[in-house]
Amino acid sequence: LCANLGVLIGLIFLILEINQSNRIAERDSRVDVLQFGTEATGFVYDNIENAELMAKLRFPDPELSPAEVEMAFQLANSYLAFWAAINASIENELMSDAAVEVYKNTAINLLRRYPGFASHLQEALVFTGIDNSTLGPIVEAAKLELQSMD
């Protein structure tokens, strides 16, 4: 009887430890995604050239210098990496459905607010060879928005 009780208590502690590990993994995943998102958002605040680029991208087909075209392309790649990090959290069941919807809406609204960014994101998608299955629902939402903009 004592041995069975010991095994039961051990199992209870194991379940509690697994539950705590899962909560820690979820928290770490959220922190990683938020940190990456903060860095991407910080792009605009780094210097006046970045802010000027984003202001130009608010209009369809803006006239950009070669340096601005490269900056926009690299920004698009940064967003794809950000969405890949989110998708990793989704695949590992570390992100709630509500959070996924927020990120999907953010991707859609990014393209609506900055229509001049659309062609650079499209170029980055082609350049990287990424399809919907690779980066999941965020990229899928962005690609649907890109299609609706055509």
Q: What is the pLDDT of residues 21-70, one digit of tens each?
A: 666 666 665 666 667 667 766 776 778 888 899 999 999 999 999 999 99
Put simply, whether the predicted model's pTM sits higher than 0.85 gets the answer no
How does pLDDT run across 104-146, given as a tens digit for each residue?
998 999 999 999 999 999 999 988 887 555 678 999 999 999 9
In the chain, where does DSSP find H-type helix? 2-46, 48-56, 66-91, 97-113, 118-128, 132-149
Residue 20: pLDDT over 70:
no
In Å, how far are 1, 16, 80, 84, 145 from 77, measured between CA atoms? 61, 40, 5, 10, 17
Specify the pLDDT at position 35. Answer: 72
Q: What are phi and psi of 94, to 5 degrees?
A: -110, 10
Specify the pLDDT at position 30. Answer: 62
Specify the pLDDT at position 50. Answer: 87
Specify the pLDDT at position 134. Answer: 66
Specify the pLDDT at position 48. Answer: 86
Beta-carbon contacts of 119 under 8 Å, excluding residues fewer than 6 positions away, are: 61
Spatial distance between the Cα atoms of 89 and 14, rounded to a whole number of angstroms: 24
Spatial distance between the Cα atoms of 103 and 45, rounded to a whole number of angstroms: 21
Q: Environment class of residue 121 by beta-carbon count within 10 Å: exposed (0-12), middle (13-18) or buried (19+)? A: buried
Segment 74-101 mean pLDDT = 85
Specify the pLDDT at position 29. Answer: 59
Spatial distance between the Cα atoms of 81 and 134, rounded to a whole number of angstroms: 11
Q: What angle do CA 72, 86, 88 make, to 5 degrees?
A: 125
